[in-house]
Amino acid sequence: MTRSFKPAAGMLAQLDLLQVSHAGAVTHVRLYRPAKRNALNDPMIRQLHSCFVNLPPATRAVVLSGEGEHFCAGLDLSELVERDAGEGVLHSRMWHAAFDQIQFGAVPVVAVLHGAVVGGGLELASSCHIRVTEESTYYGLPEGQRGIFLGGGGSVRITRLMGVARVTDLMMTGRVYDAEEGRQAGLSQYVVPDGDGLAKGIELAERIATNAPMSNYAVMHALPRIADQSMTEGLLTESLMAAVAESNPEAKQRLRAFLDKRAGKVVKR
Ligand code: 1HE
């Protein structure tokens, strides 16, 4: 880790199922329910929502990780037993609100995954913008075996990442993907050795935080909407978003810096 992270203050310090710390422009949110493998109960979903609404003001990028042996065991199954249909809809919508706040919030989110990333844990990861996985990572959608269905946005987000056929396979057959299979299927962008995930996630978040905020905003908010639109609507949205981004004073400064040979070139690795 390149910087020392300090615990967040105020309401973020009150969240008992998350550990929130920050260093400069990067905020680190860690799922903190290791005894239950970070299974997502109602308080944890509410805390995620509050956390992403109330990020420290200096935040320009977030890293999301999980404490303990696994990133996240998905929905807390002990909560399901007593719920009726109406309560089920509201419960699912609560997850949607929290994960929408992550995907369509103020700043990009880099998920650092390890161990089990299953069910709702994969739904949570898929609401982030970049996924870094340690080699220990494995993915499953055991909803089929549990007699339930996706409810945290996975039928929308995971299918967009890996396709309907692969999601069908994971859900119907109980197939489990390892870290590399997940990367090849589109679930993650990076695979790193065990123990290196957080440093890689922070490195990427620090890099992302140096972009113009309006460019990051356009990538987060316009790209997925354009992918959902028809070609003609998408092209118009692109033009509008491009014009907004280009007219920002920061864009003008950055373009001038390149033309004056004060900015870095794109170089081969
Ligand atoms: C849990 C949960 C949970 C663990 N809800 N309590 N998700 C699943 O179907 C995954 C279920 N969990 C597992 O398969 C395994 O627990 C793990 C592979 C994630 C981890 O295994 P392991 O050996 O490290 O831990 P463990 O001993 O199984 O679990 C430790 C404790 O966590 C234990 O409780 P304890 O009181 O006996 O110590 C487990 O009961 C508890 N625990 N996972 C509740 N998920 C919006 S719709 C989303 C739908 C879904 O997410 S479906 C997928 C649910």
- Pocket-testing residue among 37, 38, 40, 145, ligand 1, by greatest number of atoms within 8 A of Cβ: 37
**Span 213-259 CATH architecture:** Orthogonal Bundle (1.10)
Residue ranges, comma separated, of all CATH 1.10.12.10 domains in the chain are: 213-259
Please confirm, yes or no, whether 67 is among the known catalytic residues. Answer: no
Number of Cβ within a 10 Å radius of residue 221 = 14
Residue ranges, comma separated, of all CATH 3.90.226.10 domains in the chain are: 6-209
pLDDT in tens, 145-171: 999 999 999 999 999 999 999 999 999
Model confidence band, residue 82 (pLDDT cutoffs 50, 70, 90): confident
Q: Give me the CATH topology for the region 6-209.
A: 2-enoyl-CoA Hydratase; Chain A, domain 1 (3.90.226)
Distances from the Cα of 264 to the Cα of 62, 145, 219, 260, angstroms: 25, 51, 21, 11
Chain-centroid distance of CA 4 in Å reads 22
pTM (global) more than 0.85: yes
Q: How remote is the CA of residue 215 from the centroid of ligand 1, in Å?
A: 39
Q: How remote is the CA of residue 19 from the centroid of ligand 1, in Å?
A: 20
28 versus 80: the higher-pLDDT residue is: 28
Distance separating alpha carbons of residues 250 and 10, to the nearest angstrom: 31
